[in-house]
Structure 1
Amino acid sequence: MSKISEFVSKHHLQNVEELKELLRIPSISSLSEHKKDIEQAASWIATKLKNIGMEHVEIVQTKGHPIIYADWLHQENAPTVLVYGHYDVQPVDPIDLWETPPFEPDIRDEKIFARGATDDKGQTFLHIKAVETLLASDGKLPVNVKFCIEGEEEIGSPHLPKFLSENKEKLACDVVVISDSDMWERGVPAITYSLRGLCALEVSLKTANSDLHSGMFGGGVQNANHLLIQLLSSLHDENGKVKVEHFYDDVVELTELEKEQIKALGFDEEKLKKSLGLTELTGGENNIPYPEKISSRPTVEINGLWGGFQGEGTKTVIPNEAHAKITCRLVHNQNPEKIQGLIKKHLEEQAPKGCAVKVTLQDTGNPFLTPIDSPMMQKAAEAYEQVYGKTPVYKREGGSIPIVSDFNQVLHAPVVLMGFGLPDENLHAPNEHFNLENFDKGILTICSFLELI
């Protein structure tokens, strides 16, 4: 690795300047006024891939934003690695909380500040630079490499699943590598081996044919708000367990090894309560330790609740409609569509007398898990250890990246999540940044991984 390390060190400033170029492009996927910026970012990445020596580079148009594909396939007897990343970013609001403009990259305290610095332009860029480093140093790669970089991750990747299913042969690989996650803490690498899935629903409850005067009808007719609260309360028991029938049927319990690893990571309850301004951590199932609850247990959450008068002052009405938004975080082996159906059935069957309930099914995303002892995971761990001098921790992530499961299911390849961000880098928030201490180390770790496999 000494030759590779020297090359990366020598080109550090140049690499950072190139990343700044990409970060200056305001490729916000959710805002239509940035469509040209999205196209510019896709073109920038495609050009960069060509310049470093990747072949068959193409910008694939979709009904939304473009997908960039590229490959280098000259190692007949070696594995093929598919690198996934995204070049789109979140909106920047609230803009007044940024210390420097979000699309004018600024380096302070060995951190590069800009929207997309850690999520995910900075981390995707590490893979581009790793491939460039190996090709420039050795004239070849130790494995076959393909890139699939999209521009719609921040809006749920609506067109990528179709692209995957229509291009199975083109994208065929032995492992999918994604860097869109974080390390455990500074200096301690982590491999995320599990992500929770999700599903969403909206429930509307209706009573009379209009809002009613609370003086004329109060105490005599049904109040939609009261009934909806009663209905939503039926979703959990007094200990926080979900009461929907068959909700837990497919949940795979943690192994003793996994429980030991979670304990070994350490959890400071008092520190968390203080940081959140809370006196208790009593959400979810009361008999499950907090670190397990937020990573390996399914949930049913009420995200929004409204009905009746919402304006300033008082309006004495009995509302005839009430609404709620519900989402679930799901764990390995749970099927989002099945869970949606179970919750819909529960709400309809538990509806109080004198009202009509309508349940609308919305987004879904599958959970994901790669076994810790799989060969590719072990090679990733070895690569981290070579560069950081520490064995990475394995962690389950409570959040969701639905497209990860699509790669796994469509391409039938293991997915390795090699994160180089840090938990406090403000992704999706003002002053997003990426610690440059993980910039060169990230490139070297990816180079090591490619060589090891």
Structure 2
Amino acid sequence: MPALDPILADIDRDLDTSLERLFAFLRIPSISTDPAYAAECRRAAEWLRADLSAIGFNASLRETGGHPVVLAHLPKPGAPHVLFYGHYDVQPVDPLDLWETPPFEPRLVTLPDGRRAISARGACDDKGQVMTFIEACRAWQAMQGELPVGVTILIEGAEENGSKHLPEWVAANRDELKADLALVCDTGMWDSATPAITTSLRGLAYFEVFVRCADRDLHSGLFGGAAANPIHVLSRIIADLHDDQGRVTLPGFYDAVREPPAEVLERWRALNLTPENFLGPIGLSRSAGERDRMLIEQVQSRPTCDANGIIGGYTGEGTKTVIAGQASAKISFRLVEDQDPEAVAASFSDFVRARVPEDCSVEIVTHKGSRALALPFDMPALGAARHALEAEWGVAPVTIGSGGSIPIVGDFKRSLGLDTLLIGFGLDDDRVHSPNEKYDLQSFHKGMRSWARILAALAG
């Protein structure tokens, strides 16, 4: 597409200046979870507002009840309109002593394999990714004086703290957020040479379970063998949640689970995701999921259940021979399309209560859940984005599901009626949420070029 040539050339020519802008953004310690950094979060939002205003957007800060969102508009009458979402807040940096360089002093580093990378907190999650899109818009404005499509940009400041106020804000401002499609750059590539489009997100159902037996902790020598032990009760409940084939045993759990089309399963099979290459780097060698499913299905398209924490009795140094009066666990379910979090909650409650002895009690706390989302495989915008990414990277992008959940994507669907393309350029070794977070320079550079192409492709 000849019109793209000057846009891509400008991105290449301006790479050093783009890095300078990203580094200025990364220097702001916008840690949303710590109230001590509230002013820094607002400073990051203000930095973004000013940068977007400088390239022609009508940009403003909007209050949410928490950290402000940045909202910017650049319409193009008669053209498709997209809503781009990202976040300017970052995770805390603890433990600080594990950082090789100060987390808010960004720099380019050379990795052992020769790759160059941007090292800083937020380099990948999500400041570097956000700036790939903004820089693509900058290049279009500089070379053409306009964008190929209308664009609204929504950047929030509390994603790392649960986006508590954003769903309500989105619902209240739906008229300003009207678009044909949502775009998110907060995901990753298949590998360093193969781009990916995330086409589905698993939902979530999350519970805390408290089992109480005796009215206090008991001496295990005096009461052992007679008194009910809540740790034993809770352990049996957790063990009963799976059968010996790795399937979740809640009644009706799989009733709404649909099979992917055969051609999609064949594409996934060709990716050859094995226990050796997926689990090996974390010190494991065998998949613990459903025995009759490919590993790639287990981590992206099948529902799961996991115990995320268990507490009970004495856990300090040394010994203390007690039978606890109470034990608790945190348990989550990752859900797939058509599974209802409320139906799972009801089934889980019945399952747990049926396994608690008569003279013990149980309390189940249900946290807010989210439904899974999936794009239609024949969605035109998905095809356009695939062609654009293949043109940039020289290989067809992988269309995959995500085992994780991004609740705001569900809010875009429910409140705005928008499907979302999730296209990111992070890599598995970017150490997101960990010390020494980084973002490959190639991810940043080709991410900008990719978004420039995608915007053109979405214009038709």
Which range, TM-score by smaller chain?
over 0.9
> 2: distance between equivalents of 1:379 and 1:39?
36
Q: Assess if the C-alpha contact under 8 Å between 2:305 and 2:333 holds in 1.
A: yes
Q: How does 1:51-130 map to 2 (within 5 A)?
A: 51-55=54-58, 57-73=59-75, 75-109=76-110, 110-130=116-136
Decide which of 220, 227, 245 is 1:221's aligned counterpart: 227
> Following TM superposition, where does structure 1 have runs of at least 4 consecutive aligned residues deviating by more than 4 angstroms?
none
| Map of 1:12 onto structure 2 | 15
| Map of 1:25 onto structure 2 | 28
> 2: distance between equivalents of 1:127 and 1:270?
35
Question: How much is the aligned-residue C-alpha RMSD, in angstroms?
Answer: 1.4
> 2: distance between equivalents of 1:380 and 1:292?
23
> 2: distance between equivalents of 1:446 and 1:275?
31
Task: Say if 2:446 is the partner of 1:441.
Answer: yes
Query: What amino acid maps onto 1:43 in structure 2?
Result: E
| Map of 1:137 onto structure 2 | 143
Query: What amino acid maps onto 2:19 in structure 1?
Result: V
Q: Deviations over 1:393-451 (max 9, x none)?
A: 11111111111111122211221011112221111111111111122321222121111
| Map of 2:250 onto structure 1 | 244
Q: How does 1:377-396 map to 2 (within 5 A)?
A: 377-396=382-401
> 1: distance between equivalents of 2:14 and 2:280?
43
Q: Deviations over 1:317-344 (max 9, x none)?
A: 2222111110111111112232122211
CA, structure 1 residues 272+188, in 2 after alignment: closer, same or farther (shift >3 Å)? closer
Q: Which has the higher mean CA deviation after the structures are superposed, 369-378 or 438-447?
A: 438-447
SS for the counterpart of 1:301 is strand
Task: Say if 2:355 is the partner of 1:350.
Answer: yes
| Map of 1:298 onto structure 2 | 303
Q: Deviations over 1:175-216 (max 9, x none)?
A: 101110111111211111111111210111111111222222
Q: Assess if the C-alpha contact under 8 Å between 2:274 and 2:295 holds in 1.
A: no
Task: Say if 2:276 is the partner of 1:270.
Answer: yes
Aligned length: 450
| Map of 2:192 onto structure 1 | 186
Task: Say if 2:152 is the partner of 1:151.
Answer: no
| Map of 1:173 onto structure 2 | 179
Query: What amino acid maps onto 1:419 in structure 2?
Result: G
Q: Assess if the C-alpha contact under 8 Å between 2:275 and 2:285 holds in 1.
A: no
Q: Assess if the C-alpha contact under 8 Å between 1:234 and 1:350 holds in 2.
A: no
Query: What amino acid maps onto 1:329 in structure 2?
Result: R
Q: Which has the higher mean CA deviation after the structures are superposed, 121-130 or 433-442?
A: 433-442
Q: Deviations over 1:265-296 (max 9, x none)?
A: 11232344432223432x22222221111111
> 1: distance between equivalents of 2:265 and 2:412?
27
Query: What amino acid maps onto 1:17 in structure 2?
Result: E
Task: Say if 2:42 is the partner of 1:39.
Answer: yes
SS for the counterpart of 1:358 is strand
SS for the counterpart of 1:136 is helix
Q: Assess if the C-alpha contact under 8 Å between 1:126 and 1:439 holds in 2.
A: yes
Task: Say if 2:239 is the partner of 1:233.
Answer: yes
Q: Assess if the C-alpha contact under 8 Å between 1:231 and 1:352 holds in 2.
A: no
Q: Assess if the C-alpha contact under 8 Å between 2:207 and 2:365 holds in 1.
A: yes
Q: Assess if the C-alpha contact under 8 Å between 1:199 and 1:362 holds in 2.
A: yes
CA, structure 1 residues 140+432, in 2 after alignment: closer, same or farther (shift >3 Å)? same
SS for the counterpart of 1:409 is helix
> 1: distance between equivalents of 2:453 and 2:236?
57
Structure 2 unpaired stretches of 5+: 111-115
* % same residue: 41
CA, structure 1 residues 50+273, in 2 after alignment: closer, same or farther (shift >3 Å)? closer
SS for the counterpart of 2:311 is strand
Query: What amino acid maps onto 2:67 in structure 1?
Result: H
SS for the counterpart of 1:313 is coil
Q: Which has the higher mean CA deviation after the structures are superposed, 406-415 or 35-44?
A: 406-415
Q: Assess if the C-alpha contact under 8 Å between 1:88 and 1:152 holds in 2.
A: yes
Query: What amino acid maps onto 1:337 in structure 2?
Result: E
Task: Say if 2:341 is the partner of 1:339.
Answer: no
CA, structure 1 residues 252+23, in 2 after alignment: closer, same or farther (shift >3 Å)? same
| Map of 2:437 onto structure 1 | 432
